């Protein structure tokens, strides 16, 4: 049985008002009441969607997010109602806040690049002197970004979010509290799996005056994980940490001369490379969740999804 990658959807569900096609997710609005989020097998890097899909990637991301939404629902209500298909989550239609809550436990990635350039403040948060790349912060820091409808998200401080009226002070204080508590839970779960949850982002929305955690959480596309084993030794030696994220795809592209810059083209993706990425995503799933991954039947994946979602909506 050949594995079909899900790269494009164009469903017409009962009660459908609109559809949003993102880089990876296709989100169907059902009567402003439900959202049907189909997690495709598309893969993006450097803000470019690569020409080939990665079989089972969507299932991996959808099932990790579902597991972590369930594992944090006692902290903050979330949008998930059900996962009627391995690639689909159906949830409450919420009005999203115009900021993304980014929380960082370690000095890495964007924060490290800013720090290395001499900055000692990020999103209004003061950073200690003398830190090394990938070193743990004394306390996790919140570095929110604006949610750009086009282009890149921009760093923003707590004072500016409240001052510009993007989020009310009362709501923002709740978002901060939920962010810290969900990150603490994710950190505990990761530690049991021999992993370090390094940084992540959360999105929140409102429905009937109540705050909900929305979208995906703690997936390798929205979060960075390090392996705990050897972390201290690598830090002491100034070596790169062993990561559990899609960083390996970016590295492959860089090695093949692509960083999303003008005039560059995506290198050809051989079947062997695509299959190796599938294997890495399944490895990520099993490491993060501790569960064995069960490949779904992808022989008629569009029909399967359509049938499963229609059955679910019919019963509501």
Comparing CA positions, the residue from 7, 1, 25 lying closest to residue 269 is: 7
**Tell me: the pLDDT tens digits for 233-243?**
999 999 999 98
Comparing CA positions, the residue from 308, 309, 251, 241 lying closest to residue 277 is: 251
**CA 120, chain centre distance (Å):** 27
For residue 247, name the pLDDT band (cuts at 50, 70, 90): confident
**Tell me: the pLDDT tens digits for 31-73?**
999 999 999 999 999 889 999 999 999 999 999 999 999 999 9
Percent of the chain predicted with pLDDT > 90: 91
User: Which domains, ranges and CATH numbers included, belong to the chain?
Assistant: 96-244 (3.30.470.20)
pLDDT at 62: 98
pLDDT, average across residues 109-114: 94
User: pTM surpassing 0.85?
Assistant: yes
Beta strands per DSSP E along the chain: 16-21, 25-30, 34-39, 44-45, 48-49, 80-85, 88-92, 95-96, 99-106, 121-122, 125-126, 136-142, 145-146, 195-207, 210-214, 223-227, 243-244
């Amino acid at each position: 049985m050949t594995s079909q990658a899900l790269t494009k959807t164009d469903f017409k569900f009962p009660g459908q008002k609109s559809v949003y096609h993102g880089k990876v997710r296709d989100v169907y609005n059902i009567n402003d009441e439900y959202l049907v989020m189909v997690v495709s097998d598309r893969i993006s890097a450097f803000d470019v969607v690569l020409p080939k899909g990665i079989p089972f990637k969507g299932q991996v991301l959808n099932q990790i997010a579902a597991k972590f939404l369930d594992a944090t629902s006692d902290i903050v209500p979330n949008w998930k109602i059900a996962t009627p298909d391995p690639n689909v989550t159906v949830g409450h239609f919420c009005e999203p806040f115009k900021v993304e809550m980014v929380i960082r436990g370690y000095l890495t990635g964007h924060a490290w690049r800013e720090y290395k350039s001499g900055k000692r403040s990020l999103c209004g948060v003061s950073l200690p002197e003398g830190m090394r790349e990938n070193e743990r912060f004394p306390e996790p820091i919140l570095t929110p970004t604006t949610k750009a409808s086009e282009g890149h998200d921009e760093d923003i401080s707590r004072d500016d979010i409240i001052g510009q009226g993007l989020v009310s002070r009362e709501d923002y204080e709740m978002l901060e509290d939920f962010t810290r508590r969900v990150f603490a839970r994710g950190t505990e779960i990761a530690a049991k799996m021999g992993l370090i949850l390094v940084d992540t982002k959360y999105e929140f929305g409102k429905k009937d005056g109540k705050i909900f955690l929305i979208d995906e959480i703690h997936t390798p596309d929205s979060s960075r994980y390090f392996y705990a084993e050897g972390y201290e030794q690598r830090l002491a030696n100034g070596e790169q940490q062993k990561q559990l994220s899609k960083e390996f795809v970016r590295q492959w592209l860089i090695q093949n001369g692509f960083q999303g810059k003008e005039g560059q083209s995506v290198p050809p993706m051989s079947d062997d490379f695509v299959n190796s990425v599938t294997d890495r995503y399944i490895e990520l799933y099993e490491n993060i969740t501790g569960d064995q991954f069960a490949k779904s039947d992808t022989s008629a994946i569009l029909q399967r999804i359509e049938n499963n979602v229609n059955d679910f909506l019919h019963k509501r």
